[in-house]
Structure 1
Amino acid sequence: MSDRHAFFAPCPRGTEGLLADELRRLGLHGVRPQRAGVLFSGEMTHAYRALLWSRLASRILLSLGDVDATSADTLHAGVTAMPWEDHVRPEGTIAIDSTGVNDALRNTQFTTVRVKDALADRFTEKFGQRPSVDTNAPDLRINVVVRGETARISIDLSGEPLHRRGYRTPGVQVAAPMKETLAAAVLDIAGWRETAAGGGAFLDPMCGSGTLAIEAALMAGDVAPGLSRERWGFDRWLGHDADTWNELVRRAGEKRDRGLAKLPPILASDSDSRSVEIAADCVRRAGLEGHVTVVCVPLIDTVRPEGFSAGLVACNPPYGERLSERAELGALYTQMTAHLSSEFEGWKLAVISSDTDLARGLHLRPLLVHELFNGRIPAPVSVFAPDATAIGATTVTRPDTGSDSLELPPPDAAAGAFSNRLRKMAKHVGTWARRSGVGCYRVYDADLPDYNLAVDVYTDESGTRYAHLAEYAPPADIDPGRASRRMEWATLSVASVLDIEPDNVFVKRRERQRGTAQYERMARSGVTITVAENDLRFEVNLSDYLDTGLFLDHRDTRAWLRELASGTRFLNLFAYTGTASVYAAAGGAASTTTVDLSTTYLDWAKRNFALNGGSGLQHRFERSDSFDYLRLARDAGSAYDLIFVDPPTFSNSKRTDSTFDVQRDHVALVIACGKVLAPGGTIVFSCNRRKFAFDAETLAAEGFECSDATARTIPKDFERTPGIHTCWTVRKAG
């Protein structure tokens, strides 16, 4: 078996981005969020590290590969061909978990039986004996996921789900218990790791079985959540490396001892004495007795630990799924705000509540809201900074209520003008977009000087709409508080006027790039959707980066490239997520070469190709600096009929120790492209730098014919800002 493997870590909905961040902190490689899980790659030591240390993953699966699942027979044949004797003894035991269906495999139980039969047939033929089934404690637990025409076959290294840390008393629980993975996600969202590192304390005043407090202690104390587990799915797996595992456990034990010695105060309380008894027992079983204090105290009697001006209050208040007396609950939420705002001023508050009406009763403006799920129940997590002056209403009134007013007071006289302008443009551009079949478009672009931002609408394949706000950083002489209030108003206005769920509105800030400054990755949340454009499909990431992966102002440019691409050898430089290459392939390009220095963007480009059925050796992806690639291509005698160049305004590469400035370097770049341009070929050069001056005169002296194609490449929704990009065609003269 190879030393390097592919792994998948399933996780609860809404935690994909959090888990990806966690796995990166653990030093894992190839981390890529998916729906309901995260892919990563590496050696077994990396998987062991994830098993021992992940607070968010539900399981860790070792992928053995994909098999053809177009019929029960092809599934059987593919599974039979796998070397199962490398994983379990003939006299061993197995269990099989199957999920997913297709036209041929319509029942997961049937899939499980066919996979079991395939293993049995292989072992019987080779050894005259086959493993038996043990669904409780097998030597090998096999995971099968049917998706489309393939089935992914994996080994479940976890055994029991990872949220079972081992500290719950068997058969004893409170009403509506919270999973440990959800609790860890709440703490991550609320920034508890950073608060604890700064010496902050923790309180859960409605602790139930104490899950939030225990997870807070494990996180702050650098305690691996897997240390207290007694059984693992790999215990009797033939590929298990006991020495490596034992060394990781030993090191984790040392970290635990050091971390618990400097743990800040961790407090858990509840007004229900039975809950307090259960929580205290869980604390003891977690090895945290003396580190986590559990007391029976009503909410209004909780007090801040003396000397701790900063900390986190996190709680899961009762809601509709747990209690029925809504009047009583409303009073509880209001009481919680009043008490915490006075007693815990300076602390942060994280609240889980699936009932938006009750949550609104807090009368606090959230710093952020993150959608999670407690089992099947939606459980949004809202993070607040309560203080004695923070009580007030901040809600969005949806347009279908008959009013599009906002309870947040307008920050200035221009606020109404912004809302009116947004409403007007939404109607105008929205009508054009619907008639044109355009689902992703710009609806507002710094139309008013006081509201200097761009608003884009993205529609996913299910028809759900999202808004992406890019704020251009205000001048230094503008009061930051006033700018912040304007942005708050703008965000809520967008949700209300465009009828988009507030949780589906994403806000970024663009700073002017100076010197070696360059756009970097934003806060990671992993919110990706699939959108359609001109019958092609693309992955869009709304949360993690300054840009989303799809430049909307290049919509017409991409369509034009598709028209030009038939039969050509297409080269895409500074390719970003490869959207232009997908268009060229769809237009019948004989080959495409996609070049970018970022592995992240090249992987993204490959996923975009996969979304459109693109594959084959004719589609190449090269991780390289564009100038370096052009030199190598020239030396190799390569030639291209169509070259698309869309360079950044500025680029600072750690890999190449060089900088690129488009105004300074574009002539040299075009000349370099010309050295690999086939006779009769075309270079399409695009640039988004404002006030960019294309040096056609110098290029003409170098033997090129240049033509300004900007007008034909500006889409309808960008007509108000024709300077959004410049586009030229370049051909060799003669």
Structure 2
Amino acid sequence: MKPLFATAPHGLEELLAEELRGLGLGGIRVRRGGVEFSDDLAGAYRACLWSRLANRVLLPVGQFEAADEQALYEGVGQIDWSAHLGPEQTLAVDFTGIRAAIGHSRFAEQRVKDAVVDQIRERTGSRPSVDTETPDVRINVHMAGTATTVAIDLAGDSLHRRGYRREGRIAPLKENLAAAMLVRGGWRDVATAGGGFVDPMCGSGTLLIEAAWLASDTAPGLLRTRFGFFGWRGHDESVWKELLEEALERQERGLKSLPNIAGYDYDPESVAASLAHLRRTGLADQISVEQREIARARPPADAACGLVATNPPYGERLAERHELIPLYLRLGETLKRHFPGWRAMVLNGADGRLGLKPEQSWQFFNGPLECRLERFEIGERRDEDCSEAAPDLVNRITKNLRQLARWLRREDVSCYRVYDADIPEYALAVDVYETTDGRWLHVQEYAPPASIDPARAQSRLRSALSVLPGVLETEPQRLVFKVRERQRGERQYARQGEREEFLEVREGPCRLLINLTDYLDTGLFLDHRPVRRWIGENAHSKDFLNLFCYTGAATVHAGLGGAASTTSVDLSATYLDWTRSNLHLNQLNSPVHELVRADCMRWIKDCPKRFDLIFLDPPSFSNSKRMDDTLDIQRDHVALITDAMDLLKPEGTLIFSTNLRKFRLDPSLATRYAVEDRTAWSIPKDFQRNQRIHQCWFMRPGK
């Protein structure tokens, strides 16, 4: 009998102990970071081959006290290394510690390597070499204070690496953590009773494969091409072959009665990865994987009950977390509506609320990320009308749609605001975008006041997000959710994501690109629709200047309206590229449409050209590092407008707009120019519930 130690991810020690008992291993004792056990060589091999939860299986070969690096060197040198490796072989050393007397792990590994190499060289005249990737023997050294344990790593590489994953692909969930989810979910008993298995966000297929192997009694180490004991001098090949033959026989029997297992994912690359991994495991013909959005996930046709297990995305940044709220709600809604009588295991790393109460939860660590593993027992189906969740909100949106319907048809409006915090309890702005790819919803939550109970606000938000796709006849995955707070200057234009998914919409004769996910705003300010259309209708044969042009929507209107020339100025290369794409989309890629990257405040002072029509819609505040000075529109608007008016031809028009709610136009401007307040006209019908959305003036030279 040999003393052995199986390491485990934090929090799985008790589960691992139970697993090792089930493998018939003896002397089980739970310890921090793993499980001690005692068994013969066959038992050690069995743990390596069959453990679904362990990371490594270690065979201690020496224990001693080491207060410093010299004591470590001497202690390692007392072990007879000829029993474990020869001079012709390779080795690697791993060092771990808890308040270790030697704090520098690389230095400790070097001293252990020196002790081993020096002993073998003294005895044989030659020495083994180092191979940190695939050594013949991997030595593990653990130091707790001064207490030092030296062991042979019989696994060689972490046992969670089963041997089927594609090289270089990042796995969001380690295989032994996936197995732990299934064990906590009682999957073996569910499968034995004839239940099915579904992962509605299957990613690269880890849970699918682990579920199939657990249900079919397949040893998780069967696909591994090497273990740490293969190059160890104490290895007994006959013992290993006997265990391997037994495992293969058990797998052959088990695969004959594999339960129904299905995986879905909205991402085609994830589906392709899952299928590739299933082919590597030989399970491609027995497990179904389809590209489906989570709302369309369904149980296998002949599975009346079973287990749903999934690892949703977490989102490490705040913006990503808020985008995940609709995803978790769709998962909860899908479970309630389509998986009654099933059990669900969800690894919740984003504090996402499914709208279901977990029956039990456990602390879990997916790498460094702390998560909750939640178990749900899904009750019988209740056919609920969507209005039951948030009836006031549904009724108001229905009313707004009815009031807007005729106007939308008459004005040919395809992107519009349907709700803007009409009810204080639901502080949301809801915009509809009819794109060439179908209807999308852009939902923004205004930051609630401190007086609102956060728990109640979250409950109402979940209710709202759950009903919006239904009442607005939109696929749930086409809802994008953000939290909108007061932004200053460039913050409202700052990138929040990296998806770079552009959608095409239509506004009058214009085709425009929007991005619903990567920025706080979408690239199209819907409240400026009347101004842009007026520009298009009045730009014929005129020279048009678009200052702080953003994504150039007004420029496109002017260009399609027959402008003699357009000049679009912005400091952001990103938005100038976006403007260029919008111009190209409308076949306006002509030299007469000029794009200028510059600080608008400085550029207008030096511009020699004069314009018939100028659109000036600056940010309320900007302190970009690329600007010579800050811009505060309340403080600087007189100088900015004066400089812009100097670029205006005698019969020209300047349109000035701002969304600064407390903005006051300086009265002195009216003594110098013909100033016309066009705010009421400029606010379209879908924004008339919020008269403070922006202010707008037309200005012309002279009185």
Q: TM class, shorter-chain normalised?
A: 0.5 to 0.7
CA separation of 1:482 and 1:521: change in aligned 2, threshold 3 A: farther
Aligned to 2:466: 492
Q: Where do residues 21-420 of structure 1 align in structure 2 (5 Å cutoff)?
A: 184=170, 187=172, 202-203=177-178, 270-272=214-216, 276=220, 279-281=223-225, 320-321=288-289, 326=300, 329=303, 331-334=305-308, 336=309, 361=342, 387-388=373-374, 403-405=385-387, 410=389, 415-420=390-395
C-alpha spacing 1:517/1:588, structure 2 compared with 1 (3 Å): closer
1:723 equivalent in structure 2: 692
Tell me the equivalent position of 1:710: 679
> Deviation digits for residues 464-520 of structure 1, max 9, x if unmatched?
111111111111232323222222111112111111111101111111236996552
AA in 2 matched with 1:438? V
The structural deviation recorded for 1:277 is 5.5
Aligned-partner Cα distance in 1 for 2:176–2:603: 53
In structure 2, how many angstroms separate the alpha carbons of the residues matched to 1:598 and 1:282?
54
Looking at structure 2, the residues matched to 488 and 282 of structure 1 have their Cα atoms a distance apart, in angstroms, of: 49
Residue 544 in structure 1 maps to residue 518 in structure 2:
yes
Alignment CA distance shift 1:525-1:553 (3 Å):
same
1:714 partner letter: I
Matched-pair contact (CA < 8 Å) for 2:204–2:274: no
Question: Which of 420, 424, 427 matches 1:452?
Answer: 427
CA gap of 1:215–1:556, structure 2 versus 1, over 3 A, is same
The 5-angstrom pairing of residues 566-715 of structure 1 reads 566-633=540-607, 637-656=608-627, 658-695=629-666, 697-701=667-671, 703-715=672-684
Cα offset for 1:648? 1.4
CA spacing shift, 1:362–1:545, aligned 2, 3 Å: farther
CA offsets per residue over residues 282-333 of structure 1, 9 Å max, x none?
A: 999xxxxxxxxx99999xxxxxxxxxxxxxxx999986559x9937756332
Deviation at 1:434, TM superposition (A): 3.2
- Aligned-partner Cα distance in 2 for 1:711–1:452: 24
Q: Does the C-alpha gap of structure 1 residues 467 and 391 become closer, same or farther in structure 2, counting only changes over 3 Å?
A: farther
**Residues 148-186 of structure 1, C-alpha deviation per residue, up to 9 Å, x if partnerless?**
xxxxxxxxxxxxxxxxxxxxxxxxx99xx99779x64x7
CA drift of 1:610 comes to 1.0
Instruction: Note the C-alpha offset of 1:699.
Output: 1.1
> Measured at CA, do residues 566 and 395 of structure 1 come closer, stay the same or move farther in structure 2, by a change above 3 Å?
farther
**CA separation in 1, counterparts of 2:627 and 2:399?**
47
Contact map agreement 1:518 1:651 (CA 8 A) in 2: no
Give how far 1:389 is off: 7.1
Letter in 2 for 1:442: R
Q: CA deviation at 1:391?
A: 5.7
Change (3 A) 1:283 1:597: farther
Separation of aligned partners in 1, 2:416 and 2:288: 39
Equivalent residue, structure 2, for 1:260: none
Does residue 559 (structure 1) correspond to residue 533 (structure 2)? The answer is yes
CA distance 1:729–1:269, change in 2 (3 Å):
same
> Secondary structure of the residue that 2:596 maps to in structure 1?
strand
Q: 1:201 to 1:693 in 2, by over 3 A?
A: farther
Which runs of 5 or more structure 1 residues have no equivalent in the other structure? Answer: 1-172, 217-265, 285-293, 299-313, 339-347, 370-382
- Per the alignment, residue 511 of structure 1 pairs with 485
Match of 1:124 in 2: none
- C-alpha change, 1:428 and 1:362, in structure 2 (3 Å) is farther
- Summarize deviations over 1:2-59 as a string: whole Å, max 9, x none: xxxxxxxxxxxxxxxxxxxxxxxxxxxxxxxxxxxxxxxxxxxxxxxxxxxxxxxxxx
Q: Is the 8 A contact 2:274 2:289 kept in 1?
A: no
- 1:404 positional shift: 2.8
Partner letter of residue 461 of structure 1? T
CA contact (8 A) 2:615 2:655 kept: yes
With over 3 angstroms needed to count, the CA separation of the structure-2 counterparts of 1:422 and 1:643, relative to structure 1, is same
Q: Is the 8 A contact 1:204 1:269 kept in 2?
A: no
Letter in 2 for 1:559: R
Tell me what 2:496 maps to: 522
**CA root-mean-square deviation:** 4.8
Would you say the 8 A contact 2:489–2:622 is kept in 1? no
In structure 2, the CA distance between the partners of 1:201 and 1:728, relative to structure 1 (3 Å rule), is farther
Q: Percent identity?
A: 38
In 2, the alpha carbon distance for the partners of 1:213 and 1:455 equals 30
Task: Note closer, same or farther for the CA distance 1:699–1:201 as it changes in structure 2 (3 Å cut).
Answer: farther
Shift of 1:605: 0.7
Residues 570, 600 of structure 2: 8 Å contact kept: yes
Query: Could you say which residue in structure 2 is the equivalent of 1:441?
Result: 416
Structure 1 residues 597 and 362, CA, compared in 2 at 3 Å: closer, same or farther?
A: farther
Q: What SS is found at the alignment partner of 2:178?
A: strand
**Is the 2:493–2:521 Cα contact (8 Å) retained in structure 1?**
no
Q: 1 CA distance for matches of 2:692 and 2:621?
A: 18
Letter in 2 for 1:591: S
User: Taking structure 2 as the reference length, what is the TM-score of the superposition?
Assistant: 0.53
- Answer yes or no: is the 8 Å Cα contact 1:466–1:504 preserved in 2: yes
In structure 1, how many angstroms separate the alpha carbons of the residues matched to 2:227 and 2:507?
53
Shift of 1:550: 0.8
Shift of 1:546: 0.8
Q: CA deviation at 1:675?
A: 1.9
What is the CA-CA distance between 1:539 and the residue it aligns to? 0.6
Name the aligned partner's letter for residue 416 of structure 1: P
Contact 2:531–2:682 (8 Å) recurs in 1: yes
Shift of the 706–435 alpha-carbon distance from structure 1 to 2, 3 Å rule, reads closer
Q: CA deviation at 1:710?
A: 1.6
Q: TM-score, normalised by structure 1?
A: 0.51
Aligned equivalents of 1:718, 1:675: Cα separation in 2: 33
Answer yes or no: is the 8 Å Cα contact 2:611–2:647 preserved in 1: yes
Give SS of 2:494's match.
Answer: coil
Unaligned runs of 5+ in 2: 1-161, 184-196, 229-243, 255-272, 279-285, 291-297, 312-323, 354-368
The residue aligned with 1:226 is none
State the alpha-carbon separation in 1 of the partners of residues 343 and 557 from structure 2: 49
| C-alpha distance in 2 between matches for 1:272 and 1:534 | 60
Partners of 2:531 and 2:405 lie apart in 1 by 21
Question: 1:376 — aligned with what?
Answer: none
